[in-house]
Structure 1
Amino acid sequence: MIRLAVAVISGLSCLGQSALAQDPQVSFELDSETAIVGQPVTLRIQVLVPTWMPKPAVFPNVEVPSLMVRLPERATGPVSQRIGGATWSGVQRSYRLYPLAAGPFELPDGEIVVTYADPDTSDPVEFRAPLPDIRFAARVPAGARGLNPPVIARGFALDQTLEGATELAAGDAITRTITARIEGTTPVLIPTLTAETEATAVRAYGKEPVISETEERGVLSGTRVETTTYVGQSAGEAILPGLTIDWFNVESGQVETATVPETVVTVTGSALSAAPPMSPREIARRVGWGLLGALGLWLAWTVLRPPLFRALAEARAGYEASERAAHRRLMRALRTRDLSASLAAVEKWAGFFPDLPQAALPVRRALAGIGAARFGRQAETGKPAWNGAERAAQSARRAARRAAGTAGSGRSLPPLNP
């Protein structure tokens, strides 16, 4: 264990021993000079002041390449200590440093900024303590030196799931998910899990790996998940490679092995075109036909559009002026219980049967009853009256069309021999 204490004299003039004794006390503690790759080294920084700190202490950045820095739960907390017969209070912060590769590490230059109350005036005083020269080295245990990559953890496991059948028709797919779980270190150290397949019977479509990290009671764990979908391309057999990862168990000091078996996929049929590549003449011919077709469509749109739109407009106008449209407007007014619109619509419809003045009489009577019930002395409304008006309108149209002797426009044809 390395413990370093730093005393910084604020100001350029010499101070007495009593004044120096009132300066904040900053100490740094590294629990080991040697770490194992992937396993944490703990750095503790403690700040003590003779009074109190009106502002939180500002701690330095200790990030360096190939070193992962984590602040565990409750990384920063209050501390107190008896110094010179008095109780000093302060704060302590703990960092967990995870080396991701073997070799020496040196923390960067930095400083801690402490603001505390002056013992005499209680005014805030800023105090700066530089980060001392903190170094340590990371190594690979002797038993793990033959591993490539060196997976060093408390626990490691591989798992595989398949979605879909291993016997595919061309165009069908099977999805393979490989999950690696690691305990006691970061999942960043887990290597790639899915090897490329050289089989032509399938085509692989891989997603981006998903890396998740968790921490429980200061211990890092996590997973790496790789998902690949294989689509059948041509008849044949494809082998999805298995996976074997040797890892070093820091608790047992032994090398253990995690495996995922290979998967054999059979494809029937072919999703690839068997036609030979087109010649330049065939390509030119198809392009020419395509251009002629586009020109024909443009001419048709330009020449035929105006008369076509006119014909559509005339057909629409003819329909709106027909007996069928008039009766539909009447039925729509009755269904919406609009008395004014119904009275106007029944008269419009009756105009198509000038020779049958009684054609609309049942509908008029029904609407008159609805008006009397609504505006009379004993006003009452309800669905039965309107339903009766709808039935009367349907019956009146059938009777009028039979009487007129037509099933189309509602007008009687002129006699053949006047």
Structure 2
Amino acid sequence: MNPRRVSRASRPGKSAPRLAGLMLLSLLLSSLALTSTLCSAAATAADTSSSPVRLTVELEPQELAPGDSAELRVQVLVPTWMPEPVTFPSLDQPGLRVTLGDRATTPTSQRVDGKTWSGVSRRYRLTPLSAGRFELGSGSLEVTYASPEDNSPTQQRLTLPPVTLTARLPEAAEGLEPYLSARDIELTQTLEIVRAGKHGENGKNGENGKNGEQAQGQKGDDGDADDTENAGDDRQSPEQDGADGDSGPIELEAGDSVTRTVTARLSGGSALLLPDLLSAPAKEAGDETAMAPLGVYPETPRLEESSDGGTRTDRVTYVAETGGKSSLPGVSLRWYDPESDSLEQAGLAPLEVSVSAPRAARSAEDWSRLVLGVLPWLLGLVLLVSLTAWLWRRLAIGAKVRADWQYHQQQQRQRREASGVAGLHRLKRSLDARDLVAVRRHWEALEPHLDSNSEARARFANQLDALCRACLGPDREIAKPAAGFRDTGGDGGGDGDGGGDGIDNKESLWQRLAQALPSARELASSRPANRQLAHDRLTALNPTAQVTRRNA
């Protein structure tokens, strides 16, 4: 017998008790750990059950695709009531859009152990914008409720239990970058051209349809242009033209501009996932003139959401700066359709643009031709001006014209003085100034121009006499104020002869005197009779003058 073989055969029998002991020890330690865990969970449950606030969190669904929405419902119940509103967490985090509806927070009640508990419920709308896991259990709530013992306000802070929202890409959408989910997407575009320095021309405009079908507008008629008030601009309003096919490049000149508006209408998804529609074109390696003729000026995109989707509108203005050819980049969108579980695509074809080079500077030959064409006219104009100036000085035309004008003015002044019109105007100004001395002086100058028997002369003379008596006293038959006298509005004494009514108010006398002023028509009607009457009187009262004239 081989002793070494016997020894090896006998070892398993000796190690069996040791193995059993190790297994028993491991089982004992596992039992102790389980007992400790159960005791800890029981203690936690006891603490939770002892709290009078009950918190419930429900998430539906817990797994979805990016762009879809899930609803998180947080409910807080207390056995009494809440004197203050509950402070809910915001749950905001990168890649997750959290929104609240119109009635996101509502009161609620529930029967617990035969009693009615009251509280509030809040619904969050969660929309993941990319694939990933979103942990929602880090937020906390502050609840203020009335204590069941004495109704005193009691505040308690609660932490949301761990809740995970998972966003996964569908198998059919793997590799789709950026991810976009929708039932349908429609692309449209319009072009608006502004012509610099031209009128009566139409730009090119149009609308592109869905799934790459392009509808590009044709050049319109001359009467369709809408001129703006900007100097030298002609703005073309976009029109909807359903003609398909290529209508040639957009013809521009330096200074013109094209405004391109692209709109994506999304149905059955979130418009937040729509990417940039008119991003700047990427330059290829070694290509430094991708958009050389055009200056690119993008505007801020406009996003509008609706219950079924929404729209995104991008707007870019291209300004023609130098001559050359370029193209407005095409638009392409790929998205995942959950109804058909497939990828769909829509696009707009690029648009060719041709910019005419600005007019070159005039050459020396052009300038010489321009000078030779203008020079004869310029010399003729100089000769004409010189001849006119020489004749003006030689013939003294200016002096004659000035002398004739001065003579005409002098004759007109003499006629006004002879007719009494000038004296009548001076008398009116004196009446307005309430200057009695000036009124008396101008009336003495105007009185010979009126017929001595005329009613206007007697009327004004009587009113002037009454005013003088009221101002200077009744002891003069015909009151004549001294030189430098001016009516200051003081009271005058004496009894006037104004019909026995007592002392007249001087202001009313001034007004009556202004009303008694002869009119221009009365002055003109009495002028011939006055001259004849003056001639007859002089003939009768001055016979010596007749003898003198006869002897002469």
Query: Of 188, 194, 200, which residue of structure 1 is paired with 2:272?
Result: 188
The CA distance in 2 between the partners of 1:181 and 1:40, in whole Å, is 19
Query: Of 327, 333, 336, which residue of structure 2 is paired with 1:245?
Result: 333
Q: Identify the residue that residue 205 of structure 1 maps to in structure 2.
A: 297
Q: Is 2:265 the partner of 1:177?
A: no
The CA distance in 1 between the partners of 2:44 and 2:130, in whole Å, is 46
Query: Of 511, 531, 535, which residue of structure 2 is paired with 1:376?
Result: 511
Q: CA deviation at 1:61?
A: 2.8
Q: CA deviation at 1:115?
A: 0.9
Q: Identify the residue that residue 192 of structure 2 maps to in structure 1.
A: 163
Q: Which runs of 5+ in 1 are unaligned?
A: 1-13, 276-352, 389-418
The CA distance in 2 between the partners of 1:378 and 1:112, in whole Å, is 97
Q: Identify the residue that residue 313 of structure 2 maps to in structure 1.
A: 225
The CA distance in 2 between the partners of 1:129 and 1:214, in whole Å, is 34
Q: CA deviation at 1:128?
A: 2.1
1:186–1:213 CA contact under 8 A, matched in 2: no
Identity among equivalent pairs (%): 38
Q: Which runs of 5+ in 2 are unaligned?
A: 1-42, 194-202, 204-249, 282-289, 364-412, 435-506, 521-552
Cα distance change on mapping 1:163 and 1:46 into 2, 3 Å: same
Instruction: Name the amino acid aligned to 1:23.
Output: P
Cα distance change on mapping 1:140 and 1:171 into 2, 3 Å: same
Cα distance change on mapping 1:25 and 1:273 into 2, 3 Å: farther
1:177–1:225 CA contact under 8 A, matched in 2: yes
The CA distance in 2 between the partners of 1:119 and 1:136, in whole Å, is 36
Q: Identify the residue that residue 146 of structure 1 maps to in structure 2.
A: 175
The CA distance in 1 between the partners of 2:166 and 2:160, in whole Å, is 18
Q: Is 2:130 the partner of 1:101?
A: yes
Query: Of 244, 262, 269, which residue of structure 1 is paired with 2:350?
Result: 262
With the length of structure 1 as denominator, give the TM-score of the two structures. Answer: 0.60
Q: How does 1:19-418 map to 2 (within 5 A)?
A: 20=49, 23-107=52-136, 109-164=138-193, 165=203, 166-197=250-281, 198-210=290-302, 212-216=303-307, 221-270=309-358, 361=423, 363-367=425-429, 376-377=511-512
Q: Identify the residue that residue 407 of structure 2 maps to in structure 1.
A: none
Cα offsets for 1:214-255 (capped at 9, x unmatched): 344xx5x33322211111223333211211101112334332
User: Alignment partner of 1:69: what SS?
Assistant: strand
With the length of structure 2 as denominator, give the TM-score of the two structures. Answer: 0.46
2:264–2:312 CA contact under 8 A, matched in 1: yes
Higher helix proportion, which one?
Answer: 2
Q: Identify the residue that residue 411 of structure 1 maps to in structure 2.
A: none
Cα distance change on mapping 1:17 and 1:227 into 2, 3 Å: closer
Cα offsets for 1:189-217 (capped at 9, x unmatched): 2111114352433222222323x24344x
Q: CA deviation at 1:271?
A: 7.4
Q: CA deviation at 1:54?
A: 0.6
Q: CA deviation at 1:107?
A: 2.2
Cα distance change on mapping 1:35 and 1:19 into 2, 3 Å: closer
The CA distance in 1 between the partners of 2:278 and 2:48, in whole Å, is 65
Cα offsets for 1:235-289 (capped at 9, x unmatched): 33321121110111233433222222322222223279899xxxxxxxxxxxxxx
Cα distance change on mapping 1:168 and 1:18 into 2, 3 Å: closer
User: Alignment partner of 1:364: what SS?
Assistant: helix
The CA distance in 2 between the partners of 1:74 and 1:21, in whole Å, is 32
Instruction: Name the amino acid aligned to 1:248.
Output: Y
User: Alignment partner of 1:152: what SS?
Assistant: coil
The CA distance in 1 between the partners of 2:60 and 2:48, in whole Å, is 32
Higher Cα Rg: structure 1 or 2? 2
User: Alignment partner of 1:361: what SS?
Assistant: helix
Cα distance change on mapping 1:196 and 1:215 into 2, 3 Å: closer
User: Alignment partner of 2:325: what SS?
Assistant: strand
Cα distance change on mapping 1:379 and 1:24 into 2, 3 Å: farther
How many equivalent residue pairs? 288
